[in-house]
Structure formats: structure tokens, C-alpha cells
Amino acid sequence: KAARDELKQGRDPLKEKIEVDLTIRDVPAFGPFADEFVNGQATAFRNDKHIAQWRMTLTKYAAPIRKKAIDEIDTNDILGILEPLWQTKPETAHRLRGRIERVLNAAKVKGLRSGENPAAWRGHLEFLLPKRAKLTRGHFAAMPYMDVPAFIRDLKRREGLAARALEFLILGACRSGEVRHLQWSELDMNAKIWTVPKERMKAGRPHRVPLTDRMIAILREIEQMKLNEQYVFVGPNKHRPFSDAALGVVLKRMKIENCTVHGFRSSFRDWVGDNTNFPREVAEAALAHMVGDATERAYRRGDAFSKRRNLMEVWGEFCRSGQQS
């Protein structure tokens, strides 16, 4: 009877009860909680770019759930975010899923939600979305290693710093960001060693790269130009390194299709496995990949540098095999 009287007076007792319950729960929305989580984790990230990537993905791509209470987010919400990206931007979708999972795990630890994590892959989303490996096969399309020597021959004929940077990258089996941001202070050309700082390494630890004779020759050539006192491979304005797309432009201008800059690392790895007797561990160390579990890595603290130097010299000779005398 009391409820009917309240309705006659224009009040909705059920709605008022829900509003009171929400006030008592004081559960934050996903957006503010995610922002707070990233800020709290900032010191654990490798660099400012990594932090910015987290913030961007959790703001732009997770926009549909940012205003939703963090304890009300379910599997349908996660699928609604991931499915549009899963086929078109698989790498972005994969990272976004993992980041949302971590945010929701943190919310559970703080007692803000319960039950299974709707962004979890194993035992959950793996049954609803195609495996990432099937989506990204060929994502970094690689040139067959037997074609690399002829490509290097043509590349050497091209003028411009971007062409030299790409050649340097191939000879060192390096990642684009490592080469584009190479600084003179990282080089010991007498010892023929380049030490990439941990901030630019994917594994977050310093990596020594043995410099071959051709790599040294490229560096000496650029050194004579006196373009920049800090960076080796500078862009058009001579004050900043090349952009992320600059090396890919070289491939486009050479009309190289079905091949990416990153794919040359795969070309190198295939060549090692098919054409040499160098151990797998040496090849993986040359690519700065982490091999084995934590215990195995603890016992093998060296970086196999002398063996890697031999490997890179043989790789350099192979790359020169397409040159005409």
C-alpha cells in the first residue's frame, strides 16, 4: 500500500532504491579505473612511448566500456570491442585484450568485481575468437633469403640515408626502431660493437650488436657527412631520426611487394636454419630473442657475442654474394 501511495505522488520507489544501492556500492567506471591503473604502473613500463600506447588503446579502442561500471563488464562487452579489430588490426586487438584483462584483474584484487575475467584468453575467449597465429601469419611478410643478396646489390645502388639505414638493418638483423634511433654514443667502431640501450630493446635489456666491415663502412661514410652529432640516421630536417615509415618507403620505391622491413629478420633466421650449422641459441641471441625459461636464462648469462660475431660475418658474406665484381 505504501508503494502504491508513493506512485500516486509521482515517486518511483524501485528506481530510488537502485540509485541508493549504486551510491552505496561506489563502484568506479572502467575508464577512470583504467587511467588510475596505468598511472600506478608507469614506473614499470619501458619508456614513455609504451605508457602512451597503453593510454591510447584503453581510451580509443575501449571507449564503449569506459563509462560502464567495472563490475558490470561482461564477455559481450569485450567481444564488442575486439571483434571489429580482430581481423583488421590483429596485433592491436591482441594487445588491447591483454591490457583490459590486466585492468579487470586489478579490479578483482581490489574487491570491485568477482567471477571470471571476461577478457581472459585461455579457457574463455580462445573459444570465441580465431587464434591470433592464424590471423597474423605473414603479417611481417619476409623476403626469401635466397633473394636477399640481389636485393642488397640493388639497394646499394640507391642514394639516400634511408637506403643505407635499411641496408644496415638487414646486415645486423635488427629491428627498425633500434636502427632509426641509433646514436653515435652507442658505437665503439674500433671494437666493432654497437650497444643498444635497454630502453630501445623489446626485451628491456641492453643488446650488443657485432658490426661487420660493411656496417662500419656505412657508419664511416655517414660520419664524414657530419649531419647530426647525436643520431646516425637522421630524417630530412637533419635534426630528428627517420620516422617509422621511412624504411618501408624505400621498399615501395624499389617496387618490392609482399615484403616488410621487419620481415628481413625472418629472412635471416631462415637462412641460419637452412644454410648454416650455427646453433639455434646463437641465432636467437643475434635476434635479441629470449631463449629458454627463467631458470635456464639465469644459468646462461652470456650473450654468445664471439659466436654471434662469426655468424654475422658469414651473413654479411652471404649478403655480398649477389654483388657483381
How confident is the model over 152-181, as pLDDT tens digits?
999 999 999 999 999 999 999 999 999 999
Q: Per-residue b/e over 55-76, b at no fewer than 16 CB within 10 Å?
A: bebbeebbeebeeebbbebeee
Half-sphere exposure of 160 (CA within 13 A, CB side): 13
Per the prediction, the chain carries an average pLDDT of 85
Q: Is the predicted pLDDT of residue 133 greater than 70, yes or no?
A: no
- Cell 656496417 -> residue: 215
Residue 145, C-beta contacts closer than 8 angstroms, at least 6 positions apart: 267, 268, 270, 271, 274, 275
Q: How far apart are CA 152 and CA 322, in angstroms?
A: 7
**Which of 78-87, 185-194, 285-294, 297-306 is most confident?**
185-194
Of all residues in the chain, what percent carry a pLDDT higher than 90?
Answer: 61
Residue 42, C-beta contacts closer than 8 angstroms, at least 6 positions apart: 51
Each residue's pLDDT tens digit, 15-68: 555 454 444 458 999 999 999 999 998 877 766 777 888 999 999 999 999 999
Residue 241, C-beta contacts closer than 8 angstroms, at least 6 positions apart: 180, 181, 182, 231, 233, 234, 235
Task: List 196's β-bridge partners, or say none.
Answer: 207
Position 290 scores a pLDDT of 67
Q: Mean pLDDT across the stretch 125-145?
A: 72
Q: Is the predicted pLDDT of residue 292 greater than 60, yes or no?
A: no
Residue 185: all three cell numbers together: 654514443
Q: Mean pLDDT across the stretch 118-144?
A: 76
Position 53 scores a pLDDT of 87
Q: How far apart are CA 187 and CA 197, in angstroms?
A: 11
Q: How far apart are CA 220 and CA 189, in angstroms?
A: 9
